[in-house]
Amino acid sequence: MMPVFLLELRTEEIPANALPGARRQLEERLGAALAEKGFEGATVVCRSTNRRLTVTVSGLPGRQPDRQERVMGPPARVAFDAEGRPTKAAEGFARKLGVSIGTLERTATDKGEYVTAVVRHEGRPAGEILAEIVPAAVRGLRFPKTMRWGLGRYTFVRPVHGVVALLDGEVVPMELFGVASGRTTVGHRVHAPESFELGSATGHAAALAERKVLIDPAARRRMLEERAEQLAGEAGCRVHPDESLVAEHVELVEYPGLIRGQFDEAFLELPPEVVVTTLRHHQKCLILETPAGELAPHFLAVIDRMDDPLELIRQGNEWVIGARLADARFFFDEDRKRPLAELVPGLDRLEFHRVLGSLGEKARRVGRLAVRLAEALGARVDPADLERAAALVKADLVTNMVGEFPELQGIMGGHYLRRDGEPEEIWTAARDHYRPVGFEGEIPASEIGRLIGVADRLDTLAGLFAVGEVPTGSRDPFGLRRAAQAVVKIVAEAGWELDLAEAVASAAEGVSGVADADTGAVAQQVVAFMEDRVRRYLTEQIGVAGDTADAVMAAGWARLPGLVVRAAALEKARGNAAFRALALAFKRVRNITDGQADAGVDPGLFEQDAEKALYGEAMAFHEALERELAKGQVEGAFAGMGRLADVLETFFVDVLVMAEDEGIRMNRIALLKMLGRDFLKLADLSRLQVEGSES
């Protein structure tokens, strides 16, 4: 049986969001280090709780495999004299490696002949290797936030209080963050806090389970889900699905427990989002709902212990939730004392950006930009309604409720405006205009909501680019990548025939009065930024290959609905063998015609049957393409393009394009250029990566 290695780091409570990444990193780093040392078949599994990180390595030989290495020495002309006798350079090289002079070899290289020697490295015990690579792998972990403790000598996610390192039953000596390894650990901090010694690496999980620590996150999830279903059923309810919160609960505990609490049913008169925000975002509680799908006056809270014998934890949660809901009801009642429209002037007292002015100024810019977008689209929306809506959708930012619960911005505006009797397109615009977040979520339901949502984000992008707040690397404090992605998603899925580059230019003009920047340069920067988001939309949301996206975008990317259709059609068509041949031929077309001036084609100058045939097919394709594009039938256009593969291939076999006669040569180039212009209405096929393209 191969030995098993165990590492356990006991720490203070690790934040839930740090654990999945730590497990993944530790598996990758330790696996790579073991492979580098010759332990190719080892299996590394990392598990964790909120108070410990563990690694188990199985399939580990007792010793590192022996290996041979060819070591390069001095040039042969330096190592041996003219009679072939070894020089001091050869003697020193052999002595350094511990080999005899007679074992040195001459090896030819690109730089000439060199002396080499084969050195045998004897494998070392696995324990010695682990003592070297494990501390390095752990110290190399990266976390969202780290801390120092004690005298500040060590940096890690949380202070380390214990290290277990066992190879089968033997301690592997090492030190991590000032703590020496051993075989002693502890159980659950409430149910079994006493220390105990582990006999071997293989008994670790079972020994902890006896002491109410479940080291496997999957096991904790199963227990949580079963207990949640049971407690909800006892109250005649069901658990509202919440994958992300359950995943967080799993990382918050060593032994998963749940308690059910309740709150005054009168709080259900509040907008449901207020109750959900209080329970979920502030108290991390699971939501219970009735069989009809309505909110129930119950909740489930996770606890890191088996039970709540004195019900103090339940009471504490109920008191906190009750107090927060009472605050929410007070804020709601205060906000309802006057229409939301009366709060719009307050936006002028809230700063959007120190250079770009107040939220009131931004709202007015957004209104003007939304009107311009509507005009470009030919949308049947009253400009006065758009400008009024742009202010109203932001007005909840000065309410008491959003001041206390910022997660509810937009949502509360929708509720208040609906209760104020505003038209549905207005209050749904307030509710929806922050959606989607990046590519995730539904687009706004109303045309006004979509116009305001796009105008709001384009104004933000243009304004922040104008003042130098441009995302760099992983730094994007204003969420501009998500804003650009949301614009792309709304425009594409709303089916807007809007030139996105022109829309960006309008936004840049709108901020030119407040930001001292070159409007054209700002627009150019934002357009390039948007173009990258469009490509991501095609590859991540539509699912086309990267070179497919490049090909269709090269033929024009700013009008998104048509771009999406072309991308999907090309992705489907490119799998056809004839189409692959066409793509290869089109690369030749581009190479020949790039840089050539446009000119008319004179059929009277054709000399070969192949060029006459290509001209006839090209004209037929041109006429069919115009009909297909007029009807929006892009798949038919790509199919027609594919039918040109054979005739184009015959043309290149039979016809010398670069003929000596200048007139003949230029006429043949003009024929290819005419065909290329039509192809480029759909895609630049030369950008496709096709097998055989290099040959």
List the CATH number of the domain containing 669. 1.10.730.10
Q: What is the number of other CB atoms lying within 10 angstroms of the CB of residue 434?
A: 19
Is 177 contained in some domain? yes
- Tell me: do 197 and 133 sit in the same domain: yes
- Tell me: do 72 and 55 sit in the same domain: no
The closest alpha carbon to 416, from 394, 444, 388, belongs to 394
List the CATH number of the domain containing 431. 1.10.3210
User: Which pLDDT score is estimated for 693?
Assistant: 44
Is 229 contained in some domain? yes
User: Which pLDDT score is estimated for 280?
Assistant: 92
Residue 463 domain boundaries: 340-542
Given 287, 305, 335, the domain boundary residue is: 335
Is 551 contained in some domain? no
User: Which pLDDT score is estimated for 53?
Assistant: 97
Please state, in angstroms and rounded to a whole number, the distance separating the CA atoms of residues 436 and 485: 9
- Tell me: do 385 and 534 sit in the same domain: yes
- Domains of the chain: total: 5
Q: How far is CA 553 from CA 185, 518, 540, 571, in A?
A: 59, 27, 15, 13
Is 501 contained in some domain? yes
What beta strand segments (E) does 452-588 contain?
A: none
- Tell me: do 136 and 117 sit in the same domain: no
Structure-token pair, residue 631: 């009807």
Is 692 contained in some domain? no
User: Which pLDDT score is estimated for 691?
Assistant: 58
- Which residues of the chain are under the pLDDT cut of 70? 690-695
Instruction: For the chain, state the CA radius of gyration.
Output: 35
- Tell me: do 252 and 394 sit in the same domain: no
- Tell me: do 277 and 244 sit in the same domain: yes
Coil, helix or strand for 590?
Answer: helix
User: Which pLDDT score is estimated for 245?
Assistant: 94
Residue 64 and residue 124 in contact, taking contact as beta carbons nearer than 8 Å:
yes
- Tell me: do 434 and 487 sit in the same domain: yes
- Tell me: do 238 and 362 sit in the same domain: no
User: Which pLDDT score is estimated for 341?
Assistant: 94
- Tell me: do 643 and 602 sit in the same domain: yes
- Tell me: do 389 and 462 sit in the same domain: yes
User: Which pLDDT score is estimated for 273?
Assistant: 94
Is 694 contained in some domain? no
Q: What is the DSSP string of 307-372?
A: --TT-HHHHHHHHHHHHHHHHHHHHHHHHTTS-GGGGGGGGGGSEEETTTEEHHHHHHHHHHHHHH
Q: How far is CA 471 from CA 15, 45, 77, 479, 509, in A?
A: 27, 36, 57, 8, 21
The closest alpha carbon to 422, from 381, 380, 389, 384, belongs to 389
The closest alpha carbon to 504, from 446, 463, 560, belongs to 463
Given 180, 210, 240, the domain boundary residue is: 210
User: Which pLDDT score is estimated for 690?
Assistant: 67
- Tell me: do 59 and 71 sit in the same domain: no
User: Which pLDDT score is estimated for 386?
Assistant: 93
Is 256 contained in some domain? yes
Structure confidence by residue, pLDDT tens digits, 261-296: 999 999 999 999 999 999 998 899 999 999 999 999
Task: Give buried/exposed letters for 347-358 (b at 16+ CB in 10 A, else e).
Answer: beeeebbebbbb
Please state, in angstroms and rounded to a whole number, the distance separating the CA atoms of residues 643 and 624: 12
- Tell me: do 460 and 512 sit in the same domain: yes
Please state, in angstroms and rounded to a whole number, the distance separating the CA atoms of residues 79 and 293: 86
Given 508, 542, 576, the domain boundary residue is: 542
Is 54 contained in some domain? yes
Please state, in angstroms and rounded to a whole number, the distance separating the CA atoms of residues 47 and 182: 19
